Amino acid sequence: MQGAFTLRQGGQKMKKKPFVHNHPCGRSKKVVGSYLLVMAILISITLSACSIDIRAGRRPDVQLLEKNLRLRESTSAEVLRVLGEPFGRGKAMIPVLQSTPKELWSYYYEEASMKDARRIFLFVFFDQDRYDGYMWFSSLPKDLPKTGK
For each successive 10 residues of the chain (149 residues), what is the average pLDDT?
A: 52 56 58 76 67 86 92 96 95 82 94 88 94 91 54
CA atoms of 103 and 109, how far apart (whole Å): 21
- What pLDDT is recorded for position 1? 45
- What pLDDT is recorded for position 83? 95
pLDDT tens column, 60-71: 988 998 999 999
- What pLDDT is recorded for position 50? 64
Domain boundaries, the chain: 5-49, 54-138
pTM value is 0.61
- What pLDDT is recorded for position 149? 44
